Amino acid sequence: MATSGIRDSLKQRGVRLTRQRQILLDLIDQSGQHLDADCLFKLAREKDPKLNRVTVYRTLKLLKAGGLVDELDLMHHDGDQHYYETRLKQEHAHVICLRCGKIEEFFGDLLQQMREQIESHFGFEIVLARTEVGGYCSHCQVLRAKELTAVAQPQRSR
C-alpha cells in the first residue's frame, strides 16, 4: 500500500500519519525482516534520536488497531517476543526453524486453495488468515542429526 493509502486509512480513523509513525511504518515495511518492538525502537532512534520507547509501543498499538500492521508470535521461537509486519503484503505463510529461528515466507496458490476449501467446507467467511509452519531448516537438520548420533553413541557402549 502506498503512503497515500496508509495516510487515507489512518485519516478514516481520525489519526494523522506523523513523521514518527511514518518512520516506524517504513522500517516495518522495508526492512525485509520480522522486527520486534525493541529492534524497531533502536532502528527508529537512528532516524530520530528524540523518539522514545513509549511512542514506539503506542504507534505499534495504533497501527495494529488500524489494520495496517500484524503482530506475530512466530511459534514463540524466541520466547514471548512479538514481531511486526505490514498487513499490506500478499497473504503468505511463515515457515520458522524451531532451532535457529530463521523465518521464510511462503507465497503460493496452495494458501488460496486452502482458504477457499475452508470457506466452502464450513460456510465461513475468512477475513484474516495466518499460517505458521514450524520445523527445521536444512542446516539445522544436519546439526540435529549429529546431536542425536552423539547422544546415541554413549548409550550403545553401555
What torsion, rounded to 10 degrees, do the Cα atoms 44, 88, 109, 132 define? 50
Query: Which residues are within 8 A (CB) of 45 and not within 5 positions of it... i.e. 6 or more apart?
Result: 51
Summarize the confidence of residues 47-70 as an average pLDDT: 89
Q: Looking at residue 61, which CATH number applies to its domain?
A: 1.10.10.10
When pLDDT is cut at 50, 70 and 90, the band that residue 42 belongs to is very high
| Cα distances (Å, whole numbers) of residue 74 to 61, 66, 78, 147 | 18, 21, 8, 25
Single pTM value for the model: 0.74
Q: Looking at residue 148, which CATH number applies to its domain?
A: 3.30.1490.190
Host domain of residue 78: 1-88
Three cell numbers written together for 18: 506523523
**pLDDT score, position 2:** 52
Distance CA(57)–CA(53), nearest Å, equals 6
Q: Which of 27, 77, 17 is nearest to 48 (CA)?
A: 27
Same domain, 13 and 74: yes
Report the DSSP beta bridge partners of residue 104. Answer: 95
Choose the final residue of a domain: 43, 61, 88: 88
Beta-sheet strands, E only, within 102-150 = 103-106, 131-135
Same domain, 29 and 66: yes
Q: Which of 16, 43, 48 is nearest to 29 (CA)?
A: 43
Report the DSSP beta bridge partners of residue 97. Answer: 135
Which of 70-74, 93-97, 115-119 is the least confident region?
70-74
Distance CA(36)–CA(61), nearest Å, equals 13
Which one has a higher pLDDT value, 30 or 49? Answer: 49
